[in-house]
Amino acid sequence: MEWTTIVPAILAGGIFGSIITVTASVFNVFITNKLTKDRERRTWILSERHKASVEIIDILSMKLKKDDFEDWTYRLRNSSLKFQLLYESGDAPYPLRKTLEDVFKLVQAKKDGHQSENWSDELKVYTKKLRHELADSLSL
């Protein structure tokens, strides 16, 4: 073999190897960044859903005085909307959305003075159902 063939072959291989290394590194940085960003977003959404779920249950389990009923429905609706915004469509899945609405209507009936005689028992049943559906929703 002649040196005139070996030297250009080594240089070409070195340059080609460097180009491949740089391309792979840049590709790796962008892919890693995207995967990390997606993972961080999913973790954040799950954390925020958990906080909103706890807030909704806290509102429902509050011991209220007669004057607090006015504010109760607004706080419940506000927390429910915050929770539902954490889904891509802006709405919680159907069974959860329906239960949230049923609980709100029950609370609204109490506020308006149109509650049934077994309102407290109904609230317990709906709160239990809501708790189960909120727990199910805490997975991505």
Annotate 36-74 with DSSP letters as a single string: HHHHHHHHHHHHHHHHHHHHHHHHHT----GGGHHHHHH
Q: In the chain, pLDDT over 70 holds for what percent of residues?
A: 84
Give the pLDDT confidence score for residue 12 in this predicted structure. 65
Confidence of residue 96 (pLDDT cuts 50, 70, 90): very high
Give the pLDDT confidence score for residue 1 in this predicted structure. 59
Give the pLDDT confidence score for residue 128 in this predicted structure. 93
Residues 2-21 pLDDT 10s: 666 666 666 666 666 677 77
Give the pLDDT confidence score for residue 61 in this predicted structure. 87
Residues 6+ away with beta carbon under 8 Å from 116: 109, 122
Residues 31-75 pLDDT 10s: 888 888 999 999 999 999 999 999 999 998 887 776 677 788 889
Tokens 């915004």 label which residue? 85
Q: Is the pLDDT of residue 139 over 80?
A: no
* 7's tokens: 């030297």
- Mean predicted lDDT score pLDDT of the chain: 85
Residue 13 is which amino acid? G
Give the pLDDT confidence score for residue 67 in this predicted structure. 67
The more confident residue out of 125 and 110 is: 125
Q: What is the residue extent of each domain of the chain? A: 3-137
A 10 A CB-CB count for 137 gives 20
Give the pLDDT confidence score for residue 10 in this predicted structure. 62
